[in-house]
């Protein structure tokens, strides 16, 4: 499918709340011709100054019992949208959301820029304001704190409910800071979400000041995570400046996204099987990299797998460089324009990975019957002695 501006920012239809899943064999993944997310973001400045809202200061939002009750109330109202017609908006006041932003900023800054996590972990790719699909992911993988989650960024823009999406994730981060982890995507930046829907949603439903409060939160998000020293995760991809994993930990926050360099690449770069080494990206920012780059990086850093998001893939996930890298996209029926599935990866204690798939919804949008949910187990690269078997229903 070819990308277009109308497909990126046009008809933003919501997916249904319950669709079937489809089983895929990890060793036989079809190549995807779905569009690169953000292809038309070229030419837009990434160097906007850091935005902050002085009306709600972090030091006035100490996590008291009363404050936690407020966050729990926000969470309960958001979860109360389950089962309601897609597109039903949450009843949250602007003050409540600003308080949520003030609560979460110091929590994010207390944790490192490079998260060091342990399995088990559920890993999710782009959500893009598709709130009903976020709820489906939690229904599939289990709600925090029973399940641990790592989200790879791009929570806002394009979908109709970016506010509900980011508020639920931030609320879970406050309530369960050691069970829910949020990485920054290229859309968690004012220079991008000013154009692709989030700014307009904040302005229409609340105010520009609220958008600035969210921008201040986005500047505090980490950009990468390593799971059990074997799996590295980020939103975009690798960087020619990534000489050592510790380079990521040295990036200081709060920070804006620069127009070039390590942090920019972690949020913007893409794999490309038509190139060898590095090449300037057609996006107009960052690079694309070949299979040789992935293989060399994994070998040099004693890693098994790279998990990244940032691109629409037809089946919800797609391998690159053998099984050295996997692209994960968790927003089915992206923008209401594409028939892609949404994917989530469950990483078990032994680092066995299973793909959990949200099938695209039938059209016209309706509420289909609940169906069996299936998974496919795959091992990381150095664990091929494990069998590849269907996950028991």
**What does each of the 393 residues of the chain score in pLDDT, given as a tens digit?**
434 333 332 332 333 333 333 332 232 233 333 334 333 333 333 333 333 343 444 444 445 777 899 999 999 999 999 999 999 999 999 999 999 999 999 999 999 999 999 999 999 999 999 999 999 999 999 999 999 999 999 999 999 999 999 999 999 999 999 999 999 999 999 999 999 999 999 999 999 999 999 999 999 999 999 999 999 999 999 999 999 999 999 999 999 999 999 999 999 999 999 999 999 999 999 999 999 999 999 999 999 999 999 999 999 999 999 999 999 999 999 998 999 999 999 999 999 999 999 998 764 433 333 333 545 555 554 443 222 223 222
Distance CA 239, CA 214 (A): 27
Report helix, strand or coil for 202.
Answer: helix
Catalytic residue check, 310: no
Strand partners, 378: 353
User: Which stretches of 181-319 are DSSP H helices?
Assistant: 190-193, 198-205, 208-218, 246-249, 262-268, 291-300
Give the residue from 168, 107, 109 showing the smallest Cα distance to 134.
Answer: 168
Residue 315 · residue 29 · CB < 8 Å? yes
φ, ψ for residue 7 (rounded to 5)? -70, -30
Q: Which of the residues 103, 187, 235, 310 is marked catalytic?
A: 187
Cα separation, 137 vs 358, in Å, equals 8
Q: How many CB atoms are closer than 10 A to CB 387?
A: 8
Return the domain boundaries, the chain: 94-358
What CATH homologous superfamily does 94-358 map to? Metallo-dependent phosphatases (3.60.21.10)
Rounded CA-CA distance 104/264 in Å is 23
Spatial separation of the C-alpha atoms in residues 313 and 239, rounded to whole Å: 22
Closest CA to 248 of 223, 269, 273, 274: 223
With CA atoms as reference, report the closest residue to 185 among 154, 218, 151. 154
Q: What gap in Å lies between CA 223 and CA 267, rounded to an integer? A: 8
CA distances for 207 relative to 33, 111, 213, 214, angstroms: 38, 29, 10, 11
Residue 78 neighbours by CB under 8 Å, 6+ apart: 90, 92, 164, 167, 168, 171
Q: From 112, 32, 118, select the one nearest 327 (Cα to Cα).
A: 32
Q: Considering the entire predicted model, what is its pTM?
A: 0.81
Q: Which H helix or E strand runs over 320?
A: strand 317-320
């Amino acid at each position: 499918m070819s990308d277009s501006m109308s497909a990126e920012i046009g008809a933003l239809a919501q997916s249904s709340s319950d669709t079937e899943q489809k089983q895929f064999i990890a060793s036989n993944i079809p190549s995807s011709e779905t569009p690169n997310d953000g292809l038309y973001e070229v030419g837009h400045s990434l160097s906007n100054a850091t935005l902050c809202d002085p009306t709600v200061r972090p030091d006035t939002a100490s996590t008291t019992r009363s404050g936690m009750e407020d966050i729990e109330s926000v969470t309960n109202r958001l979860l109360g949208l389950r089962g309601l017609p897609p597109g039903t908006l949450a009843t949250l006041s602007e003050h409540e959301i600003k308080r949520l932003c003030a609560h979460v900023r110091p929590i994010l800054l207390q944790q490192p820029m490079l998260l060091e996590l342990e399995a088990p972990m559920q890993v999710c790719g782009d959500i893009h304001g598709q709130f009903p699909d976020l709820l489906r992911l939690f229904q599939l993988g289990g709600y925090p704190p029973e399940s641990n989650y790592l989200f790879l960024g791009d929570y806002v823009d394009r979908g109709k409910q970016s506010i509900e999406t980011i508020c639920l994730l931030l609320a879970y981060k406050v309530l369960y800071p050691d069970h829910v982890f949020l990485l920054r995507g290229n859309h968690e930046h004012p220079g991008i979400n000013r154009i692709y829907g989030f700014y307009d949603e904040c302005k229409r439903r609340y105010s520009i000041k609220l958008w600035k409060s969210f921008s201040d939160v986005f500047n505090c998000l980490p950009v990468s995570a390593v799971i059990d020293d074997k799996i590295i995760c980020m939103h975009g991809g690798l960087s020619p400046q990534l000489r050592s994993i510790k380079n990521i930990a040295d990036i200081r926050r709060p920070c804006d996204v620069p127009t070039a360099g390590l942090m920019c690449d972690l949020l913007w770069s893409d794999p490309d099987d038509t190139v060898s080494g590095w090449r300037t990206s057609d996006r107009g920012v960052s690079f694309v990299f070949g299979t040789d780059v992935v293989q060399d990086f994994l070998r040099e850093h004693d890693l098994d797998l790279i998990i990244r998001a940032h691109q629409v893939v037809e089946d919800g996930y797609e391998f690159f460089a053998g099984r050295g890298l996997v692209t994960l996209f968790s927003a089915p029926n992206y923008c209401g324009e594409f028939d892609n599935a949404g994917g989530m990866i469950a990483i078990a204690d032994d680092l066995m990975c299973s793909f959990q798939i949200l099938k695209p919804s039938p059209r016209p949008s309706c509420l289909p019957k609940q169906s069996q949910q299936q998974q496919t187990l795959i091992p990381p690269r150095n664990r091929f002695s494990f069998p590849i078997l269907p996950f028991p229903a």
